[in-house]
Chains A and B, each alone.
Chain A
Amino acid sequence: MDTRKPMGPLVLKLFLVPILMFGFGYLMVPLYDVFCDLTGINGKTGDAISTAQAQQMEAETTRELKLEFVASVNQDGPWEFRPSHTSMVIHPGQTYTATYYARNLRDIPATTQAIPSVSPAKAAPHLNKTECFCFTEQKFKANEMREMPVTFVVDSNIPEDVDTLTLSYTLFTK
């Protein structure tokens, strides 16, 4: 037994490893967001920009892009939700407004949050919104139906080989 070295310092160091790794697990959350932000691989749209910024962009009328709209409701929640038009043709640099139609199917007031996603990933950071129903929670009265606008501009840095973008919203019941 006398040959034992003191255990204390080693054991303390060893306990530090799991404690730090527990923290690392949580650190992965912001790291994940930063990584997705830098690479755009999570379909997150570009940052919200002001209307003035959007108007400063120069419309590139020679280039045409097809923008498709998709809508889905999370876990078959009690909502009717669809885009007013399934697609539109747009020019980079020009500001457009599209609308989505939503209806609360229940007889009680409800709140929703729409979460956007853009495909392909490499185009996602180039779709910038000035105004969107997804920026805030949307409150609906019982059985209320309404059209909700999204105003956006696709900047002209969008990669050359992209000719079709898909903007998808998923509606979550809050």
Chain B
Amino acid sequence: MNAQAVQHADHDHHDHGPAKGWMRWLTTTNHKDIGTLYLWFSLLMFFVGGTMALVIRAELFQPGLQLVQPEFFNQMTTMHALVMIFLAVMPAFVGLANWMIPLMIGAPDMALPRMNNWSFWILPFASTMLISTLFVDGGAPAGGWTMYPPLVLQTGAAFPMLIFSVHLLGISSIMGSINIIATIMNLRAPGMTYMKMPLFVWTWFITAYLLIATMPVLAGAVTMLLTDKYFGTSFFNAAGGGDPVMFQHIFWFFGHPEVYILILPAFGIVSQIIPTFARKPLFGYSSMVYATASIAFLSFIVWAHHMFTVGMPVAAEVFFMMATMLIAVPTGVKVFNWVSTMWKGAMTFETPMLFAIGFVVMFSIGGFSGLMLAIAPADFQYHDTYFVVAHFHYVLVPGAVFAIMASVYYWLPKWCGHMYDEKLGQIHFWLSAIFVNVLFFPQHFIGLAGMPRRIPDYAVQFADFNMISSIGAFGFGFSQLMFAYIVIKAVRGGKQATDQVWEGAQGLEWTLSSPPPYHSFSVQPHIK
């Protein structure tokens, strides 16, 4: 309550401010309040999912079974993925969209403020339903977050809870996305043409389309699972004329665009931060927009690269391999543009910039291992090994998560009006950057050597690298407590931030006071 009280006091009350008391947060339709709710929720879930990851890494510290039973281990891998994807990373991006899109395009609020409230408040219920499966008969879902049948159909009482929480999370993100699209299409300030929009807005615009196109497909797939289990349908049941492989096709038709949903807003964030600290306009703005759109388009035609080993005709393998490799072209354009933006820039290395540069370097490592996995004949070796784990953690942790942290450091002074502790921020970056590599880099090696993913025990030849990886995991995990401390410290007080906050910052959000008034841009600015 104390932190909230401080926040109240900090708001600039020149017109009517927020309602008093805790009901404010329940009934709010203000984009800043809802953005804040999303971000706190996401931080909480980041620690919940992180704790699960530490259970996994603690068990894998040594070969043999020490701490947990294999069943529980599998629940941890499954739940860690679901929590991190649907409850940590996605809500964090939606929270950033809520806070920043109206400020960046000069809109007074989101287009559909009441639906916005609903989008957020579904989340606590959905996440409670999902996480409470840990305590029901048969335990939490343990068949992997991909929910492949027939294995997932063996889930106990948790099964319908899993399905319904996925439904709710889908509804929440679909409503959030519709709101974002409507805001961007209808509420841009006069003169803010599409090709003048900041890249964070552009990447979210495209991400929102991906979300409304693919989340319903996931909803359909899990509904089929539900009816297969309880209502006698045979979508994925071979005995009734169905096909379990079909689930994989439908799932990854959602799943591959989903991985771009998790990274496109990160591209947008990095494209905001690097120009600020390089003190140069973004290199190749329009090519960035087109590259984002190309990635989004290609994401719909590459899904089967997740399932090269199911037995596909060679023609299909070649098609999906080539289409996947094609994604490296627009992604390469982006990395090139970020590096070119920094080229001969007057760079300074405040914490947001450090995280952004860390993103560019380490996301590229994840991109390269992705290219290796795209090679269909090689994928038969890598499939379902720790190499895959290393790959997607490189794009998601020093990729998406670093971008989210960069954005928090970048915009936190704007949100709460106080500078964060720069020294602690830098320490946090270096601890995170070192430990994340200690954590995930060795997983490339054990993966190539053949260690399968999702197992609680392993052959002794993998022991050393697993131990290093686990040390990195605990180092990385505990470093994040520092992040929470820095954020809370800045929210509670600190050096007053200027309106522009950063010397090189450009854009509408920096024309407002720090923190911005509760209702900003009631009169829309004109963009020349």
Contacts and interface: CB of A to CB of B under 8 A. Distances in A.
Interface of A: 1, 3-5, 7, 10-11, 14-15, 17-19, 21-26, 28-29, 32, 36, 39, 41-42, 74-75, 113, 115, 121, 170, 172-174
A121 B212 CA distance: 36
Given A4-B187, A18-B174, A18-B212, A24 B249 contact: no
Contacts of A1: 108, 522
B217 A7 contact: no
Nearest to B185: A10
A103 B253 CA distance: 41
B313 A39 contact: yes
Contacts, number: 87
Interface stretch (B70-78, B238-246, B391-399, B400-408): B238-246
B217 A24 contact: yes
Interface string B188-232: 001000000000000000000000111111111100100000000
Interface of B: 108, 111-112, 150, 174, 178, 181-182, 185-187, 190, 212-221, 224, 235, 237-240, 243, 245-246, 249-250, 253, 312-313, 316, 522, 524
Nearest to B106: A3
Tell me if A's interface is mostly helix, strand, loop or mixed: helix
Contact of A32 (B150, B240, B246): B246
A10 B180 CA distance: 12
A10 B182 contact: yes
14 contacts: A10-B186, A14-B212, A21-B217, A22-B217, A23-B220, A25-B218, A28-B249, A29-B224, A32-B246, A36-B243, A74-B239, A113-B239, A170-B238, A174-B239
A11 B312 CA distance: 40
Identify which of A28, A172, A173 gathers the most chain B CB atoms within 10 Å of its CB: A28
Contact of B186 (A4, A25, A41, A173): A4
A25 B239 contact: no
Contacts of B186: 4-5, 7, 10
B310 to A, nearest CB: 11
A41 B216 CA distance: 27
B178 A11 contact: yes
Contact of B216 (A19, A75, A174): A19
B217 A15 contact: no
Contacts of B212: 14, 17-18, 21
- Identify which of A21, A26, A32 gathers the most chain B CB atoms within 10 Å of its CB: A21
Nearest to B246: A32
Contact of A7 (B182, B239, B250): B182
Nearest to B242: A29
B213 A115 contact: no
Nearest to B250: A28
B219 A25 contact: yes
B215 A115 contact: no
